[in-house]
Amino acid sequence: MDDQSGLVPGAVTAGLAALLGLGGIELSFAESRDWLKAFLLFAVSENTLRSETQALGAVQEEREAVVCQQSQDLDYLPARLRDKTPLPTRLYGSLDAAKVRIEPRLQGGTKPENTEAWRDMKVGGWYEAERVPASQRSSRQRDKFEREQAVLRAKNMRYYCDIQEADEFGKLMWGTGCAVKADLTPELVFVCDGAVWIWNLVKLHYPHAVPIVDGYHAADRLERVALAAFSAASDRTPWLERVTADLWAGRVTPVIQACERLAARCEQARQAVTYFTNNAPRMKYDQFRAAGYLIGSRTVESGCKQIVTQRLKKPGAQWDVDGAIQTAKARAAWLSGEWDAVCAQRAALPLAV
């Protein structure tokens, strides 16, 4: 039977590969080995789990390479107009990054000296938004509704990620965006933190998009300024209430001036002056709320947490660059609802040994 099926010792069928990959994107390879043994009633080695998880990530990497290639094809781009699938009236994009510890290993498993480094795993997402019904709102969301008269949540989330320099990651951002027709969507909105590399990419690839700096990050920065500048709550609270009200009303100039008055004696205030000055055009929160936009980047922050923190930063985790990227891409495919497509493409390949 093994001969008829083409199985050899150490080979993994496509169906088993998908199961191993699910374990490998959720748990450490050692934990996944023990967990799967309880379900499957046979043992699979850590190396097999690692290999199959990362093979699925490599498939996702190939899928992304295809959309990046298509995004440079002058025949492909206009051909998308013939697809009559309705476009969302409003599409969001977000970018962020999280640190991953890279510990390369030499052949035989030895670790070179002085090679440990923290690298940025950049994470992007495309998504839509919908209102949260009153019956489903948490206490935090009910408070938010009282303050802002709207509670939105992301839906149809699609993640992409890689360890790359910003310019290279921009190609992935553009390619995945073309795949979801971000460039054709009637209204494209980017909600991100204030990182310079992010807004450089948005300006380059999607200059028509509505740019929004996360309002909650901005408000948190003011809280940090207040804590650093005022030792007494009686001085701190009125200042913070005033500048926060200005911020939410879109009055960024008074916010900058308030920080400037503290800058001589407070480093946090000096940094805030630069931050608010650079991002002022992306802080029209009164207009953004009136238009019904999401103004927080928690969606992509959640992506960083789910892809990087919850999987790549497990205790004792050790990665080389390729292993980290492929495991992250496999997990991103699962979170984006693309797992079946990845596994189907993997099934078309020869059995892994």
Is 226 found in the same domain as 184? no
Domain end, chosen from 286, 310, 329, is at 286
Q: Are 18 and 59 in contact (CB under 8 A)?
A: no
Question: Is 181 within the bounds of a domain?
Answer: yes
Residues 243-246: contacts with CB within 8 Å, 24+ apart? 244/219
Residue 266 sits in which domain range?
217-286
The encoded tokens of residue 119 equal 């690298």
Question: Is 322 within the bounds of a domain?
Answer: no
Q: State the total domains in the chain.
A: 2
Is 258 found in the same domain as 164? no
Alpha carbons 178 and 76: distance in angstroms, whole number: 10
The encoded tokens of residue 252 equal 């960024």
Query: pLDDT (tens digit, 0 to 9) for every residue of the chain, 353 residues total?
Result: 767 665 666 678 888 899 999 999 999 999 999 999 998 888 899 999 999 999 999 999 999 999 999 999 999 998 898 888 889 999 999 999 999 999 866 555 555 555 668 899 999 999 999 988 777 666 665 555 545 556 788 899 999 999 999 999 999 999 999 999 999 999 999 999 999 999 999 999 999 999 999 999 999 999 999 999 999 999 999 999 999 999 999 999 999 999 999 999 999 999 999 999 999 999 999 999 999 999 998 899 999 999 999 999 988 788 999 999 999 999 999 999 999 999 999 887 655 43
Alpha carbons 315 and 307: distance in angstroms, whole number: 15
Is 224 found in the same domain as 209? no
Question: Is 60 within the bounds of a domain?
Answer: no
Question: Is 240 within the bounds of a domain?
Answer: yes
Q: Tens digit of pLDDT for each residue in 18-66?
A: 999 999 999 999 999 999 999 888 889 999 999 999 999 999 999 999 9
Question: Is 156 within the bounds of a domain?
Answer: yes
Hey, what amino acid is at 92? Y
Is 233 found in the same domain as 203? no
Is 222 found in the same domain as 193? no
Of the candidates 301, 102, 29, the one whose C-alpha atom is nearest the C-alpha of residue 192 is 301
Question: Is 122 within the bounds of a domain?
Answer: yes
Is 191 found in the same domain as 229? no
Question: Is 132 within the bounds of a domain?
Answer: yes
Question: Is 346 within the bounds of a domain?
Answer: no
Neighbours of 326 (CB within 10 A): 21
Is 93 found in the same domain as 183? yes
Neighbours of 340 (CB within 10 A): 11
Alpha carbons 295 and 289: distance in angstroms, whole number: 8
